[in-house]
Structure 1
Amino acid sequence: MTSLTRIALNPHNPAVRADLADVDSLHKTLMRLAPDHNSPTPRAAAGLLFRTESGPDPTLLVQTAHTPDLTALPADYGTARTIDLTPLLHSLTLGRTVRYRITAAPTVARSAGNPNRHPVTGKRRGKITHLTGDDAITWWQTRTQTVGLQPITVSGLPKPFPRTRVTRTSPHFILTQFDGIARITDTTLLTHALTTGIGRAKSYGAGLLSLALT
């Protein structure tokens, strides 16, 4: 059962402050929600995707492949509510319009032989380049076609990378929040994208696609 949990965080809790300051710490906290997995890719096995939501109060959206164990969260971490996404997944039909939101890490692998091109191949060729602004929106418009959506409207806002502690081995991503309306073109591709995430940086608060039926 794919589940979505909304956690209204307690900003006075030391564990919450630590997690919001360091996404590695946040990732470790959220992995506690999932059953133990004997897997070389525990995040993917747990189906863990998450993002921070903008607003006056800090909020987390957390998606898991199973019902989360909310007792595993630190004491007084926040107020959590979990819903089953199965009805939403079953209601997806061709041609239906939906509202969407995703925080993603748009990138392309530029070919070393032609640095002026921006092929979105999904293959690690050449240098990984982070995209912003209109380039990021173009990336999302192209990507939607591979996940069963046809964008009707798109807005993109830069999102701060959810990390303040930086080390020599820290990954770096430029995040963009995309919102808009789209039409469903392939329910199989869309279901896969919803349950597995889109793009890079899934361990760092990117890739969770949310839909609202219109």
Structure 2
Amino acid sequence: MTTAASASPDTVAEEAWLTRLLLNSGNRQVQHDLRNAAALHRRVMTLVPNRLGGSPRAQAGALFRLDTDGIGAPVLLVQTRVAPDTAQLPAGYAQAQTRTMRALLAALRPGLPVRYRFLGNAIRRCGRNSTVGKWKQAIPLYGEDAERWWADRAAAAGLDLHTVLSGTADALTAWHRLKDHCDHRDGRGPKTQIKGSGQATETLRVAHAATLFEGAATVRDPNALRGALLHGIGRGKAYGCGLLSLAPGGPEA
């Protein structure tokens, strides 16, 4: 399996790394991170250098996706534009394997058949006169609506889809301290009190909708696809959405 993100096709640096972390489900720090998408994001960011400016995730090109099958240990895929330092993970957290994506990025050409996997934040925003929600409220998409959402973004990313298998994944739930999370326009979760450091802290629960898309496709525009691979697709990248995985092969159209 290989993976992904989006960029200006003329300025793409042909380098990225994909790290596969086989998580230790018995590790307490793993258990904590799996309950909180915000904590999992913070863990991912420990793999890249500090002092990356005001948008460190974007600067590092950090994308991630949690793959689970309900049987084996969960796998966390992490893609970065800088070489990751897996020694920063806690002892016993995961078994790590890292490889460069240079060969995949160079191999993309028009007509190349590929298999894909993508976890997307398939939503639409309500307009001012919406009857289904408040203005700018995020409404999750399901079924054919979600597949049309993905088809539009895949086309923009330079892929011609042949097959699409979609399924609603568990919502990516993040817990934010209210003082650190100022934009509550969506009303996406209840406030609650949690205790830590001897005092109660008010937090906001935010659930991000996620849909898993898998299938076969053909590369139409390699430059657009390299951009989509390197920068991710759609919203929710800080919570585990947006990483496109590709594997060459599969049936032609």
Structure having greater relative contact order (Cα 8 Å, sep ≥ 6)? 2
Check conservation: 2:173, 2:205, Cα contact below 8 A.
Answer: no
Identity among equivalent positions (%) equals 37
Check conservation: 1:154, 1:181, Cα contact below 8 A.
Answer: yes
Instruction: Name the aligned partner's letter for residue 90 of structure 1.
Output: A
Check conservation: 2:174, 2:206, Cα contact below 8 A.
Answer: no
**Secondary structure in structure 1 of the residue aligned to 2:91:** coil
**Are 1:150 and 2:160 counterparts?**
yes
Check conservation: 1:157, 1:178, Cα contact below 8 A.
Answer: yes
Check conservation: 2:61, 2:79, Cα contact below 8 A.
Answer: yes
**Are 1:111 and 2:146 counterparts?**
no
Matched with 1:121 is none
In 2, the alpha carbon distance for the partners of 1:183 and 1:27 equals 31
- Pick which of 172-181 and 104-113 moved more: 104-113
Describe the superposition over 1:128-153 as per-residue Cα deviations: whole angstroms up to 9, x where unpaired. Answer: 32211211011001111111111110
Q: 1:63 aligns with which of 79, 85, 89?
A: 79
Instruction: Name the aligned partner's letter for residue 73 of structure 2.
Output: D
Matched with 1:26 is 40
Q: CA 1:162–1:112 in structure 2 vs 1: closer, same or farther (change >3 Å)?
A: closer
Structure 1: segments with no counterpart, 5+ residues: 117-124
Matched with 2:227 is 192
Describe the superposition over 1:146-171 as per-residue Cα deviations: whole angstroms up to 9, x where unpaired. Answer: 11111110010111023375653333
Describe the superposition over 1:184-205 as per-residue Cα deviations: whole angstroms up to 9, x where unpaired. Answer: 1111110011011011110111
**Secondary structure in structure 1 of the residue aligned to 2:104:** helix
Instruction: Name the aligned partner's letter for residue 166 of structure 2.
Output: G
Matched with 2:205 is 170
Q: CA 1:194–1:54 in structure 2 vs 1: closer, same or farther (change >3 Å)?
A: same
Q: CA 1:86–1:208 in structure 2 vs 1: closer, same or farther (change >3 Å)?
A: same
Structure 2: segments with no counterpart, 5+ residues: 1-14, 176-188, 192-203
- Pick which of 199-208 and 156-165 moved more: 156-165
Matched with 1:83 is 99
Q: TM-score, normalised by structure 1?
A: 0.90
In 2, the alpha carbon distance for the partners of 1:139 and 1:162 equals 19
Which of these two proteins has the greater Rg computed from alpha carbons? 2
Q: How many residues align?
A: 206
Cα RMSD, aligned residues only: 1.9
Matched with 1:119 is none
Matched with 2:242 is 207
Matched with 1:17 is 31
**Secondary structure in structure 2 of the residue aligned to 1:75:** coil
Matched with 1:97 is 113
Q: TM-score, normalised by structure 2?
A: 0.77
Q: CA 1:38–1:66 in structure 2 vs 1: closer, same or farther (change >3 Å)?
A: closer
Matched with 1:40 is 54
In 1, the alpha carbon distance for the partners of 2:236 and 2:206 equals 9
Instruction: Name the aligned partner's letter for residue 168 of structure 2.
Output: P
In 2, the alpha carbon distance for the partners of 1:99 and 1:207 equals 16
